[in-house]
């Protein structure tokens, strides 16, 4: 397969980038390991933040973002993000997204934690699904976009692997057809990673099963810089029920007046932050974790009874129906909630053009570290990040492509070599290691960390990594094995970055180093692959 641009991932970032490239006349291949609609975007409830109200301003949005980011935001990137916000909403509207409006016909703007103004555009509580649907319809209408569903990237391919002694660049990827198991090379002028997050690295997560950190692992193995993996955001309010599978209760519910309480009705968030239940997510998640440990309770409660009983099912239809399905009436009862892994604030390190440290490789969306989220993402900035930086990536990739040979003119990528691999005789080994990683990460590298917990996690992950490596080279590659390998790589990166940051800031809280140290740690944690699979920290 030869194409100008290879986009790996079909969420909001990947599809937005593919659309912009195709509209400029480029040939694009979109690879997605399930179906187009299977993405983190499709699960997003709250909305997309942008300066859309007359009382709001770019400066206010910028200040809110930087304050939430704990001093690690890239101010230039944040400025670009917020100033492109209104245009991004227009782009989505042009694609066919219908945002909710009030009785006056204006956008019905919500407010979420950490925001000083109402600025969250939404489609009730189905924003992500509505955006994804509109983008898919647009993608399917563009003849220059080829779609490869049930295909998964195995490894990136660099020019050096093809014998080119010039400056190294990424020239494609090996891609598996997950139905047949066949692996074939895709050559491209540029590769854009848009694979989403890595929430499945934790035992409890709001993410879908596909969130195994594929893009970060692919880029790291290829030699790209990875940044700030220690900052993993835990959403404070996931529905606590054995059958709910961490169903998310959007922060927008708190924006409409709901409050976090203990079982006896105590509003505990007043003791932790002046914004109470609308404090930034890192503060709220730690407060819930602390209260649960103090009381021994399995959850806390979100009191939604003060939200207008007529408004709730209209504004939050999906949440309302889910609560009723699991036996709770949110207009009359408090909802049991717990924190769960939600968003990866680190990722593949990129500049404001979404370019990684490897020429020819770009990254957008949750798998990318643009610098806009710092140590803690401001609520509803993620969808904005995805669409804004997808536009920047399309521009930068187009410029890069203009300087490169036409697709198909370079040396061919050799066929995939399975070596002496044989079919695995026990798939249970994969599921066992998967569960072991997720429990280890939840227990030792969760909301609150210590030096001892991190050291224990490092030792255990080193053993697991060796087992996975042996398994990978001995047996025929399968989609489950690829996800396990990628998940383990992300787990190791989170652990190593957390060990390197001996302070507490934003989403990284180490009880042995509770203070923030700007002098030593007031910058991003940059890591890349070292000799024999080790780590090199720094630029």
- Tell me: the pLDDT tens digits for 344-353? 999 999 999 9
> Where does a domain end: 340, 368, 388?
340
Give the model's pLDDT for residue 532: 75
Q: Indicate whether 414 belongs to any domain.
A: no
Q: What is the mean pLDDT of residues 213-233?
A: 97
Question: Does residue 230 contact residue 525 with C-beta atoms inside 8 Å?
Answer: yes
**Chain mean pLDDT for the chain:** 92
Question: Does residue 7 contact residue 30 with C-beta atoms inside 8 Å?
Answer: yes
Q: β-strand 183-193 against 2-8: which pairing, if any? A: parallel
What is 297-346 written as a DSSP string?
A: -S-EEEE-TTS-TTHHHHH-HHHHHHHHHTT--TTTSPEEEEEEEEEE--
Q: What is the mean pLDDT of residues 495-504?
A: 97
460-476 pLDDT, tens digit each: 999 999 999 888 888 88
Does 336 share its domain with 349? Answer: no
Count CB atoms within 10 A of the CB of residue 168: 16
pTM (two decimals)? 0.92
Query: How many alpha carbons lie under 13 Å from residue 284 in its C-beta half-sphere?
Result: 33
Does 72 share its domain with 218? Answer: yes
Higher pLDDT, 298 or 355: 355
> How sure is the predictor about 425, in pLDDT bands with cuts at 50, 70 and 90?
low
> How sure is the predictor about 43, in pLDDT bands with cuts at 50, 70 and 90?
low
Rounded Cα–Cα distance for residues 34 and 391 (Å):
24
Rounded Cα–Cα distance for residues 205 and 434 (Å):
14
Q: Indicate whether 149 belongs to any domain.
A: yes
Number of domains in the chain: 3
Q: What is the mean pLDDT of residues 291-307?
A: 92
Does 149 share its domain with 15? Answer: yes
Does 207 share its domain with 352? Answer: yes
Give the model's pLDDT for residue 40: 66
Does 321 share its domain with 351? Answer: no
- Is residue 128 pLDDT above 90, yes or no? no
Does 374 share its domain with 225? Answer: yes
> How sure is the predictor about 399, in pLDDT bands with cuts at 50, 70 and 90?
very high
CATH for 30: 3.50.50.60
- Is residue 226 pLDDT above 90, yes or no? yes
Does 220 share its domain with 332? Answer: no
Q: What is the mean pLDDT of residues 168-190?
A: 95
Does 275 share its domain with 392? Answer: no
Task: List the Cα angle 165/169/171 in 5-degree steps.
Answer: 105
Give the model's pLDDT for residue 487: 96
Does 369 share its domain with 472? Answer: no
Does 364 share its domain with 387? Answer: yes
Range of the domain at 253: 238-340
Q: Indicate whether 203 belongs to any domain.
A: yes
Which pair of structure tokens corresponds to residue 492? 């190791």
Give the model's pLDDT for residue 76: 97
Which residues are known catalytic residues?
281
Q: Indicate whether 410 belongs to any domain.
A: no
């Amino acid at each position: 397969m030869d194409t100008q641009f290879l986009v790996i991932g079909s969420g909001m970032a990947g599809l937005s980038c593919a659309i912009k490239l195709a509209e400029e006349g480029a040939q694009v291949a979109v690879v997605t390991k399930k179906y187009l609609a299977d993405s983190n975007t499709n699960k997003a409830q709250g909305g997309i933040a942008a300066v859309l109200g007359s009382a709001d301003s770019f400066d206010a949005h910028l200040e809110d973002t930087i304050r939430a980011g704990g001093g690690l935001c890239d101010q230039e990137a944040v400025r670009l993000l917020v100033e492109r916000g209104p245009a991004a909403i227009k782009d989505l509207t042009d694609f066919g997204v219908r945002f909710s409006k009030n009785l006056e016909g204006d956008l019905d703007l919500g407010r979420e934690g950490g925001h000083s103004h109402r600025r969250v555009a939404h489609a009730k509580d189905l924003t992500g699904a509505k955006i994804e649907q509109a983008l898919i319809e647009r993608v399917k209408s563009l003849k220059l976009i080829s779609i490869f569903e049930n295909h998964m990237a195995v490894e990136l391919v660099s020019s050096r692997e093809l014998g080119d002694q010039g400056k190294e660049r990424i020239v494609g990827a090996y891609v598996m057809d997950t139905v047949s198991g066949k692996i074939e090379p895709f050559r491209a002028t540029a590769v854009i990673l848009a694979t989403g997050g890595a929430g499945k690295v934790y035992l409890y997560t709001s993410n879908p099963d596909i969130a195994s950190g594929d893009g970060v692992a692919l880029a790291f193995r290829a030699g790209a810089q990875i940044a700030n993996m220690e900052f993993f955001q835990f959403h404070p309010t996931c529905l606590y029920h054995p059958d709910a599978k961490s169903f998310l209760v959007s922060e927008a519910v708190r924006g409409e007046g709901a409050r976090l309480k203990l079982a006896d009705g105590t509003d505990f968030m007043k003791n932790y932050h002046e914004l109470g239940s609308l404090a930034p997510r890192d503060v709220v998640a730690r407060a819930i974790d602390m209260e649960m440990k103090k009381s021994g309770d399995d959850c806390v409660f979100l009191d939604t009874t003060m939200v207008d009983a007529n408004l709730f099912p209209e504004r939050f239809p999906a949440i309302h129906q889910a609560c009723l399905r699991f036996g709770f009436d949110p207009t009359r009862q408090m909802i049991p909630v717990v924190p769960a892994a939600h968003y990866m604030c680190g990722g593949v390190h990129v500049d404001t053009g979404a370019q990684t440290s490897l020429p020819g490789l770009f990254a957008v969306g949750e798998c990318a570290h643009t610098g806009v989220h710092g140590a803690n993402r401001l609520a509803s900035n993620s969808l904005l990040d995805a669409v804004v930086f997808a536009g920047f990536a399309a521009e930068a990739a187009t410029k890069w492509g203009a300087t490169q040979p036409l697709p198909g003119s370079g040396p061919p990528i050799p066929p995939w070599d399975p070596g002496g691999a044989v079919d695995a005789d026990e798939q249970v080994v994969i599921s066992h290691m998967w569960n072991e990683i997720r429990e280890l990460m939840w227990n030792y590298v969760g909301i609150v960390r210590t030096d001892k917990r991190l050291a224990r996690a490092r030792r255990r992950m080193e053993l697991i990594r060796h087992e996975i490596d042996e398994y990978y080279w001995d047996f025929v590659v399968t989609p489950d094995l690829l996800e396990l390998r990628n998940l383990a790589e992300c787990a190791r990166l989170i652990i190593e970055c957390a060990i390197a940051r001996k302070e507490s800031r934003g989403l990284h809280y180490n009880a042995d180093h509770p203070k923030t140290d700007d002098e030593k740690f007031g910058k991003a944690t940059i890591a890349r692959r070292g000799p024999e699979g080790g780590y090199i920290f720094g630029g």
